[in-house]
């Protein structure tokens, strides 16, 4: 079992910045990839950014050069620095973590989701 706690959402004006954090806790052996997704009403959840346990990152075209994903493995935390925010970035942001969890003598890979952090960009 892994729990994810998100923080850092809020209301910001266009051109402003926010930093989202997602901390993982619980019982696990290894955390692999970490990432951020976002969703608006009536639309499919979309990938924003991912980062591997080796530090390799990928971004959706819509956020490249504006968002930066990073992780602190010692704290089991992933961050999303969002700069030059636009109204189109308004969404509910979810963190996602892939982890290896022990079940008896078996180790299984699971994907875990945070509860979501609302980001609203408006003047």
Q: What percent of the chain has pLDDT over 70?
A: 100
Which tens digits make up the pLDDT trace of 44-68? 999 999 999 889 999 999 999 999 9
pLDDT in tens, 20-50: 999 999 888 888 899 999 999 999 999 999 9
Using H for helix, E for strand and C for coil, what is the string for the chain?
CEEEEEECCEEECCCCCEEEEEEEEECCCEEEEEEEEEECCCCCCEEEEEECCCCCEEECCCCCCCEEEEEECCCCEEEEEECCCCHHHCEEEEEEEEEEEEECCEEEEEEEECCCEEEEECC
Per-chain mean pLDDT for the chain: 95
């Amino acid at each position: 079992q892994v729990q994810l706690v998100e923080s850092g959402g809020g209301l910001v004006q266009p051109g402003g910045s926010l930093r989202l954090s997602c901390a993982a806790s619980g019982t696990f052996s290894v955390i692999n990839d970490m990432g951020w997704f976002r969703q608006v009403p009536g639309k499919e959840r979309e990938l924003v950014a991912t980062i591997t346990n080796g530090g390799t990152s990928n971004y959706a075209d819509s956020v490249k050069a504006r968002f930066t994903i990073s992780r602190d493995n010692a704290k089991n935390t992933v961050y999303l620095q969002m700069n030059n925010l636009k109204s189109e970035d308004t969404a509910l942001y979810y963190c996602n973590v892939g982890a290896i969890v022990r079940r008896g003598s078996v180790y299984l890979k699971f994907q875990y989701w945070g509860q979501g952090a609302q980001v609203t960009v408006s003047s």
